[in-house]
Amino acid sequence: MGAHEASKVIHALYNDDEILMDAVKKVKGEHHHIEEIFCPFPVHGLDKAMGLAPTRLAITAFMYGITGLSVAIWLTWYTMIHDWPQDIGGKPNFSWATNMPAFVPIMFELTVFFAAHLMVITFYMRSKIWPFKEAENPDPRTTDDHFLMEIPVHGNEEELKTLLAATGAVEINVVDKH
């Protein structure tokens, strides 16, 4: 196998998400590696069908929420109890715990704020997406109505073409991956 062949991939295009799911199961059943699938919208169960590991983003969201809650607790204690205690409506200002019900909206909002904003940043960093980055999309039709399955070629081009044609691919192209 030459260096040129190692950089070749097959792009199989599908026009229906259910046909794509069946195709993924058949391709994985034949023990072929699927490099990537480009979709115009999220396809439920596709990650499981491809055999991808579960995401750990939920764990990071929880940690970011806990960080936001901690900041909110510190902020309410520091501003209302330690730094500038005030007698508002006859409430005691020497104890955070007795005033905590008044701080619940602040704690909730900062928990959500930290989780949401830090999750967006984490998602973009994990996905290697940043401002002005060029799209890695190999075919613009995958942003509209087609699904593209990318499979590396390792001397089995004809076998893969036959398999993909049998799975219902509407178009099969062999391209050099850059």
Q: 73 lies in a domain?
A: yes
**CATH code of the domain covering residue 35:** 3.30.70.260
Q: 62 lies in a domain?
A: yes
Task: Report the amino acid identity of residue 68.
Answer: G
Instruction: Say whether both 25 and 73 belong to one domain.
Output: no
Which stretches does DSSP call E strand in 18-57? 36-38
Q: Which one has a higher pLDDT value, 149 or 102?
A: 149
Q: Looking up tokens 């109890």, which residue turns up?
A: 81
> Taking a C-beta distance cutoff of 8 angstroms, is the pair 107, 69 a contact?
yes
Total domains in the chain come to 2
Can you give the residue range of the structural domain that contains 106?
57-126
Q: 65 lies in a domain?
A: yes
Pick from 13-22, 44-53, 113-122, 123-132: least confident: 123-132
**What DSSP character marks residue 153?**
-
122-128 long-range contacts, CB within 8 A, separation 24+: 122/57, 122/60, 122/64, 123/57, 126/57
Q: 162 lies in a domain?
A: yes
Q: What pLDDT is attached to residue 86?
A: 78
Q: Looking up tokens 């049998």, which residue turns up?
A: 166
58-101 pLDDT, tens per residue?
A: 999 999 999 999 999 999 999 988 888 877 777 667 888 888 88
Specify the pTM. Answer: 0.69
CA 34 distance to own-chain centroid: 18
pLDDT for residue 3 is more than 80:
no
Instruction: Say whether both 89 and 121 belong to one domain.
Output: yes
Q: What pLDDT is attached to residue 1?
A: 47
Torsion of Cα atoms, 13 then 36 then 26 then 14, to 10°: -20
Instruction: Say whether both 97 and 158 belong to one domain.
Output: no
Name the pLDDT band for 22 (thresholds 50, 70, 90): very high
